[in-house]
Structure 1
Amino acid sequence: MSDAQDLLLDMIAALPDPVFVLTESGRYVALLGGHDRQYYHDGSHLVDFTLNDVLPAEKADWFLQEIRTTIHQNRLRIVEYSLAGRDVSGLPTDTGPRGDLWFEGRVQPLANPINGERAVVWVASNITERHDLQGQLQTLSETDELTGVYNRRKLLAELEQNFAKFQRYHTPLALLIFDIDYFKLINDQHGHLFGDQVLRDLAQQCQSQLREPDTLGRFGGEEFALVLPNTELKQALQLAERLRLDCEQMRFASTTNNAAITISIGLSVATKTDRDITDLLRHTDDALYRAKHAGRNCVKYRTPDTGSPPSMDL
């Protein structure tokens, strides 16, 4: 064997990331490199098996689609995907990384067929640390540091997304804006650290009342907003009243005495006259203003554009 061939074999064996050769039918033809068990499992047993032999049907179908798209487009494609050791049948999991892993796949079509089939080279790079860091940074950018709920920017993005669904599919959408009554007095009497704790406890209490698709965010200061997708006015009012009563019953222990709070709530549902979220926000803010001027500790809402206000049984 020549020195050039020896060098080529050494280079292939030393490839840091695993390189798969896969046919358009999903058969593993070869696996090269990727021997660092800190980042990759030993997948040598996969050769001559198919994706459908070793992967759950949904994941196998996804890989097959990516392979066939790459062959059809005849160009390099880059994809990101999640795959854990437990997803691959027969993979030894006593060595190698644990848990859910994220990979960047660089998929390149081969010029010549293998046993009559088109094929691709698939280089899988473990990007789990980068993916997790990106997730953490995104969470930080979307979260209010004090209360742990979403911040204003994320809240408006969720409202925009749900308003687009309302316009396209006419799915109901409700918005609540509420704030703590006389919050300045709480800070003046008990201090700002106590006021911060009130905000945290209030956010936690409200969050515990919500459904998975609902979005709670701190709008600023002592003001919060709540986006309620697929929610009609009657259901939104029932939730608003429940939140108001829950907050009224909360007690906060300070160094001097116990404190109580109340909240005022403005509510609006999206209607066909709303051109964008600015209109919906304005109507909801107007309802909050009326709640404040009605004596606070109450819920006010914009009535629908057509028909009578709903009969409420709160």
Structure 2
Amino acid sequence: MSPGPPDRLALLEAVTRALVDPVFVLDRDGRYLEAFGGSDRAAYDSLAYLVGKTLHDIMPAAIADGFLADVRRVIDTGQPHVYEYTLSADDCAGNAHDGPPGPQWFMGRIAPIVAGAGDVPDCVAWVVINITRRRQLEAELQRFATTDELTGLLNRRAFLARLEAAMETARAAGLPLALAILDLDHFKAVNDRFGHAVGDAFLRYVAKALLAWPAAGKVLGRIGGEEFAVLFEGLALPSAAALLREWQAQFHVRPFELADQAIGVAFSAGVVAMADEDASTTDLLRRADHWLYEAKHAGRGLVAHPGWIDRRLG
């Protein structure tokens, strides 16, 4: 004889206890009528303290106001709402702090509860999924896509995207913009003499120094093996060139220290100001690269730019 169907209420209670992710039932006033599931302590804190309290009893007013508005909108429109938000156990008064530490990212799926019978008040079911790990992976992928792995600077693709946006902004606002390309002098000799591991450390040292030295509107990128690009937003050409010469002087007195010896750091640079002729990033880069070639051809360790040769020979 086959067993009869299970008791539906008992089955429902068993299911809600088994839920890994939480489900909250909130009324129009933002009161927690019930809290189910959330058994995964690696992702959620205990929920029992919520029942009977309102959003404003638990959370700061600014957070509670936003959540309450979402609850009421779903009740009034009858339309589900899905969105992502961040919340920390420290934001919730009475929390047992037995879940994950620090701010967590959640996806909330809010749906209206349609009462079938009885005196069920207007309320919603708020299903929560912890998406912190997904967010971390997305941020990591974004970092890999835009960052030079060795130096931590923008990679070539990300730098060019930033340059393109900066050019559009500068044109619209009528602001100056300068671009420099730096090439480390005799870097191959460092690799050949000390090995690629030291060469990598040398590049990281240069990048760290360039990041640390102040300059308004400075954006740095590594666009080649020993080539760096510097975008100076809001800076005219003379000021940008002066900064580059100052950096050369800084490197002169701050060599790269390796065990018991110091390796000198020097670079050649070509720098140009954005002009009407620069229809794209390619045009601006081509002109900066031209002046870099002039600096290297004239003996390296120099900062070259339009008009520089005449002044230097004069």
Residue 110 of structure 1, aligned match among 101, 110, 113: 113
Superposed displacement of residue 145, structure 1: 2.8
- What residue identity is the alignment partner of 1:38? A
Task: Kindly indicate whether residue 272 of structure 2 is the aligned counterpart of residue 268 of structure 1.
Answer: yes
* Superposed CA RMSD: 3.4
Matches of 1:12 and 1:82, distance apart in 2: 24
Q: Which residue of 1 aligns with 2:296?
A: 292
Matches of 1:68 and 1:247, distance apart in 2: 61
Residue 60 of structure 2, aligned match among 26, 31, 56: 56
Matches of 1:228 and 1:26, distance apart in 2: 50
Superposed displacement of residue 72, structure 1: 6.8
Matches of 1:212 and 1:30, distance apart in 2: 54
Task: Kindly indicate whether residue 39 of structure 2 is the aligned counterpart of residue 35 of structure 1.
Answer: yes
Matches of 2:198 and 2:42, distance apart in 1: 47
Residue 200 of structure 1, aligned match among 200, 204, 220: 204
Superposed displacement of residue 112, structure 1: 5.4
1:97-246 → structure 2 map (5 Å cutoff): 97-111=100-114, 119-170=123-174, 172-210=176-214, 214-233=218-237, 235-246=239-250
Q: Which residue of 2 aligns with 1:90?
A: 94
- 2:217/2:234 contact within 8 Å kept: no
1:236–1:46: structure 2 CA closer, same or farther, 3 Å change rule? Answer: farther
- What residue identity is the alignment partner of 2:102? G
Residue 252 of structure 2: SS of its match in structure 1?
Answer: helix
Superposed displacement of residue 50, structure 1: 3.5
Matches of 1:170 and 1:62, distance apart in 2: 39
Superposed displacement of residue 223, structure 1: 0.1
Matches of 2:172 and 2:210, distance apart in 1: 29
Structure 2 unaligned spans of 5+: 1-5, 308-314
Q: Which residue of 2 aligns with 1:311?
A: none
- What residue identity is the alignment partner of 1:22? L
Of the structure 1 ranges 63-72 and 237-246, higher mean CA displacement relative to structure 2 is found in 63-72
Task: Kindly indicate whether residue 84 of structure 2 is the aligned counterpart of residue 80 of structure 1.
Answer: yes
Number of aligned residue pairs = 301
Superposed displacement of residue 141, structure 1: 3.0
1:171–1:61: structure 2 CA closer, same or farther, 3 Å change rule? Answer: farther
Q: Which residue of 2 aligns with 1:307?
A: none
Of the structure 1 ranges 134-143 and 78-87, higher mean CA displacement relative to structure 2 is found in 134-143
Q: Which residue of 2 aligns with 1:310?
A: none
> What percentage of aligned pairs have identical amino acids?
39
Superposed displacement of residue 126, structure 1: 1.2
Matches of 1:241 and 1:115, distance apart in 2: 78
- 1:190/1:256 contact within 8 Å kept: no
- What residue identity is the alignment partner of 1:41? D
- 2:291/2:306 contact within 8 Å kept: yes
Of the structure 1 ranges 230-239 and 108-117, higher mean CA displacement relative to structure 2 is found in 108-117
Structure 1 unaligned spans of 5+: 304-314
1:105-139 per-residue CA deviation (whole Å, 9 max, x = no partner) reads: 22223345999985432211112222223322332
Of the structure 1 ranges 251-260 and 235-244, higher mean CA displacement relative to structure 2 is found in 251-260
Of the structure 1 ranges 99-108 and 179-188, higher mean CA displacement relative to structure 2 is found in 179-188
Larger gyration radius, structure 1 or structure 2: 2
- Please give the TM-score of this superposition, normalised by the length of structure 2: 0.79
Superposed displacement of residue 171, structure 1: 5.2
Matches of 1:246 and 1:144, distance apart in 2: 24
